[in-house]
Structure 1
Amino acid sequence: MTGMRDIEVVVFDVLGTLVDEPSGLRAAVREAVPGADDASVEELLTLWQQHREHELWRIGQGHRPYANSEVIDEEAAQRVAERAGFDDPVAIARLATAWQRLPPWDDSVAGLEQLARQLPVLGLSNASRTALLRLSAHAGLRWHQALSGEAAMAYKPAPEVYQLAIDAAGCPPERMLMVATHAWDLRGAQARGMRTAYVRRPVGDPPTSSDTFDGQFDGLGGLVAALTAR
């Protein structure tokens, strides 16, 4: 791990890094389909995640015009409803907003609050502006500023999304630290000149042997300690 004493701004990925996506979506599917067994819930969860990943890939490749995360989630919820065999519009609408009610990891709220006492802290997410606002409130995440890729009409790892954080911070990217549990996200940040820290979560995209991030941590505690030991 390289030194981090020159870091001026910390930028956090949100989905997966600070909130538990699978358990939150799983709970939403169970609520929408109360009679589903565990295998059916996992099948529906996979259907949702695959749709989201595929559509974000299509947008990133230029095969689909930009649509924000709320639109993608509405499509995914409709697919889940069709597969599960229900058509209640109220239930479908609630399912579509499940990404706004994801639970934080155990160390997320305290870690952010501790870090924010000493450094500017930004959130940088693929979630839409509205979804990010409501998710932050639900999970108790406190930022100095939260940025959505919707402002750039793009999804990470598109470089223009990281540029949003660089522009907001007003400091050189080499003095900014991008924190994520997704190695692909950190690689995108590195390509814009940002420093990087991987935080291990039960979900995510772990580093490969060829990745050279500035730090790797088992949770926010170690990250906060490294950044506040000044």
Structure 2
Amino acid sequence: MIRALIFDVFGTCTDWRSSVAREVAAALPGLDATAFADAWRGEYQPAMERIRSGARSYTALDDLHRENLDTVCTRFGVTPDDPADLARAWERLDPWSDVPEGLARLRRDRIVAPCSNGSIALMTRLARHAGLGWDCILGAEIARAYKPDPAVYRAACAALRLAPQEVMMVAAHNSDLAAARAEGLATAFVLRPTEHGPEQATDLAPEADWDVSVGNFTELAEALA
């Protein structure tokens, strides 16, 4: 029996690309805000990989986002009036339209929590902005590691005092699900074909026999009813 669902957030629950581009457009008018958002996101994995590899000690994603913003601002030759506020754009992401209601349905019978690379502070503020009704905040900060490090999935299960097979990882990214399955978790793929815009070329279909594969959170709630 699945007793808890843990969720990737950036991309699976929220439309980070459009939301960040909106924040960039407001802070840096006249710029190609979508290109800037994509470039900022492009620094995400390299920044975390330095921590995964041991080249750098654990650093919260809030700080990485701020550092990455400076990198991209230099590349674009711009300086926002309030860079600290722009760095918090990741706390103001809008949810995909199916998420608030679908998440509420899923929460009726099961624990729901993020298992994100975002910090507890970031996930808490984002939940308030996007109307995400989590029962608790799990993920990178409690493990002091970044997905797909196995420690992140193990720490989430341990925090809930549940066996891995009682916990389902929900994500729009096949790689996230593969890492979770390797630790014994159940898996649910949710299709988000425009996370990276209309030209998205990855994660357009389930790439393994995940326990559940659906098109949105409403379908996920129905599949698990």
> TM-score, with normalisation over the residues of structure 2?
0.91
The 8 Å contact of residues 183 and 207 in structure 1, kept in 2 or not, is answered as no
| Distance (whole Å) between structure 2 residues aligned to residue 76 and residue 156 of structure 1 | 18
| Distance (whole Å) between structure 2 residues aligned to residue 141 and residue 25 of structure 1 | 18
| Distance (whole Å) between structure 2 residues aligned to residue 57 and residue 217 of structure 1 | 30
Aligned pairs for 1:72-221 (under 5 A) are: 72-90=64-82, 92-201=83-192, 202-203=194-195, 205-206=202-203, 211-221=208-218
Q: State which of 4, 21, 24 in structure 2 corresponds to 1:9.
A: 4
Amino acid at match of 2:175: W
Identity of aligned residues (%): 35
Amino acid at match of 2:22: A
* Structure 2 segments unaligned to the other structure (5+ residues): 197-201
Shift of 1:209: 7.2
CA RMSD across the alignment: 1.8
> TM-score, with normalisation over the residues of structure 1?
0.89
Greater Cα shift, 41-50 or 171-180:
41-50
Amino acid at match of 2:78: F
Match of 1:3 in 2: none
Q: State which of 4, 15, 18 in structure 1 corresponds to 2:13.
A: 18
Greater Cα shift, 200-209 or 15-24:
200-209
Going from structure 1 to structure 2, the CA distance change for 1:97 and 1:103 (only over 3 Å counts) comes to same
Describe the superposition over 1:22-60 as per-residue Cα deviations: whole angstroms up to 9, x where unpaired. Answer: 111111211121112xxx333322321121221112221
Q: Could you list the runs of 4 or more consecutive aligned residues of structure 1 that deviate by over 6 angstroms after TM superposition?
A: none
Amino acid at match of 1:70: D
Going from structure 1 to structure 2, the CA distance change for 1:137 and 1:195 (only over 3 Å counts) comes to same
The 8 Å contact of residues 122 and 165 in structure 1, kept in 2 or not, is answered as no
Match of 2:199 in 1: none
| Distance (whole Å) between structure 2 residues aligned to residue 208 and residue 11 of structure 1 | 20
* Structure 1 segments unaligned to the other structure (5+ residues): 1-5
Shift of 1:208: 6.8
| Distance (whole Å) between structure 1 residues aligned to residue 6 and residue 33 of structure 2 | 33
Going from structure 1 to structure 2, the CA distance change for 1:68 and 1:158 (only over 3 Å counts) comes to same
Structure number with larger C-alpha Rg: 1
Amino acid at match of 1:85: G
| Distance (whole Å) between structure 2 residues aligned to residue 210 and residue 102 of structure 1 | 27
Going from structure 1 to structure 2, the CA distance change for 1:46 and 1:88 (only over 3 Å counts) comes to closer
The 8 Å contact of residues 191 and 204 in structure 2, kept in 1 or not, is answered as no
Aligned length: 219
